Amino acid sequence: MGSTINANRRLRPHARSFLDSIREFLTPSIWRQADQARRRSHAASRWTTQPLVLTLLVMTWCCGDSQAERFETARGFTTVCLAKRRRPGRTVQGFQKALAPLPLAVLRAVAAGVRRRLMQLLDLTSDGWVVLGADGSAVACPRVAELEQRLDPPIKRQGPPQVWVTAVVHLRTGLLWAWRLGGGLNRERSHLQALLPTLPPAALIVADAGYNGYALAQAIVAAGAAFLIRMSSKDRLYTEQPPKTAHVRKFANDEVWLWPQQVRKNRLPPLRVRLMRLRDKQRGTEVWLLTNVLDTERLSIPQASRYYRWRWENEGLFRTYKRTLAKVKLLSRTVRLVHREAEGALLATQLLVAQGVRSALARRCGKALPRCSPRQVLLTIRDVIAGRIGIRQRRRFRQRLIQARREQRRRSSPKVKRVWPRRVSYKPLRPPRILTMAQEEIALAAQLLQQIE
């Protein structure tokens, strides 16, 4: 009897205030891990780990045209939230001086703890998969000599320096799962490969044509995950069928080999994959997807079509980060502060959407999942920061989160209202090429596969 009552209490949505909601994701154990990752040398510092990170988060949520203006609001709010703690420093210069030497491992430890809490609090599965999308975007930085010398050169001619962000997003809810900052060649693929240890069990990565390649596919398989990646005419796939029957349109849902020539020269084994063809009825085009899930019942074509349509949640995440939270251009003027500002803003984005998703799942009725509106959640948090909603006021804060729902209507007209100048027209990707392996290649593939068994 007692276990039944406890189970019902866990299923019942609780009335949570802002402090209860934020403490649900940022638990005391997470703060202890962050404090251990900091390894502070000055125990008497005004800026301990918790108020420093919390102020960085609130500076992303609050309003203000400059960092000094946002800092004043964030510091006051942090002082109210941590009323029993020692008060932090008073100046934005002191805050930046304490933030610059903060190891990035501290923010990453907090992000790892939040991911663990997301797995405990939310049901992220869809048909047995945790469907995740991967995409990247560039964030502009101020035109400062240090940033121009040490950061990536701009994509556009005479543009500002930039930081590249690769984000992994849970596609059913639009929740930010993990991210990585950096640059270099093939940055998106190398960033995703570095983020593979953060993936949950039964992860299915959905990505566009920029995430192709044998090395990344093999790394995803080695990590115990699955992939669903779009193919283009740049990709070469191989089959054992005769050349006359090896036409790409005959492979609507068939198995092929992923085995580039350079991989073959290095005597690495081929990867058995499945090629699927989807029809875009609105545009009249075809979409070719590659997956390592060979079981058609485990991942069918209708499922793949639905998951690939969800991929636009990646674009929605970057819109929330850049436009809703005003991070089109970062404000910091040194490399250390730029990285910490970007990491803190991404962590704030994750917590922002997580609170809305948590409220949506608690009030879920039936199979349909109402998706939260990050803008409405942000306005609710800003009312808390401004004092219009108390930090411990439960009923009003909970009602605002329940009402923070995204528009669900079906669109009957295009989103684009006008033709923008200098915008490149969309060109549908052509299908991949299907090549027939020679007998020597078939024998070599069988030999290499036998060695790894």
Interval 373-399: pLDDT, tens:
999 999 999 999 999 999 999 999 999
Tell me, yes or no, whether 413 lies in a domain.
no
Same domain for 89 and 146, yes or no, is no
pLDDT tens digit sequence for 172-198: 999 999 999 987 656 889 999 999 999
Q: In the predicted model, what is the mean pLDDT of residues 139-153?
A: 91
Same domain for 19 and 67, yes or no, is yes
Q: Which domain holds residue 399?
A: 2-106+335-403
Contacts of 145 (CB under 8 A, 6+ apart): none
Tell me, yes or no, whether 378 lies in a domain.
yes
pLDDT at 45: 75
Strands (E), 110-239: 130-140, 162-170, 175-182, 203-207, 226-230, 236-239
DSSP 8-state class, residue 152: B
DSSP tally for the chain: helices H, then strands E: 17, 10
pLDDT tens digit sequence for 112-122: 999 999 999 99
Tell me, yes or no, whether 432 lies in a domain.
no
pLDDT at 41: 54
- The model's pTM: 0.91
Tally of CA atoms within 13 A in the half-sphere of 239 that contains its CB? 19
Which of 208, 213, 275, 215 lies closest to 241, judged by CA?
Answer: 275
DSSP 8-state class, residue 40: -
Tell me, yes or no, whether 114 lies in a domain.
no
pLDDT band at 442 (very low <50, low <70, confident <90, very high): very high
Distances (CA, A) of 50 to 35, 45, 78, 411: 8, 12, 9, 44
DSSP 8-state class, residue 238: E
Same domain for 215 and 305, yes or no, is yes
Percent of the chain with pLDDT over 90: 71
Instruction: Please check whether residue 73 is in contact with residue 62, taking contact to mean a CB–CB distance below 8 angstroms.
Output: yes
Same domain for 156 and 76, yes or no, is no
pLDDT band at 418 (very low <50, low <70, confident <90, very high): confident
State the Cα–Cα distance between residues 249 and 16, nearest whole angstrom.
54
Is residue 411's pLDDT more than 90? no
pLDDT at 332: 95
Same domain for 173 and 238, yes or no, is yes
Sign of CA dihedral 423, 309, 210, 357: positive
State the Cα–Cα distance between residues 153 and 147, nearest whole angstrom.
9
pLDDT band at 216 (very low <50, low <70, confident <90, very high): very high
pLDDT tens digit sequence for 272-307: 999 999 987 776 788 999 999 999 999 999 999 999
pLDDT band at 241 (very low <50, low <70, confident <90, very high): confident
**What is the per-residue DSSP string for 382-418?**
HHHHHTSS-TT-HHHHHHHHHH-B---PPP-S-S--S
Please report which residue ranges of 261-405 form alpha helices under DSSP H: 261-265, 301-309, 313-319, 335-362, 374-386, 394-403
Look at the chain and report how many structural domains it folds into.
2
Q: Which two tokens stand for residue 145?
A: 């000599």
pLDDT at 361: 77
Tell me, yes or no, whether 421 lies in a domain.
no
Same domain for 61 and 12, yes or no, is yes
Same domain for 293 and 249, yes or no, is yes
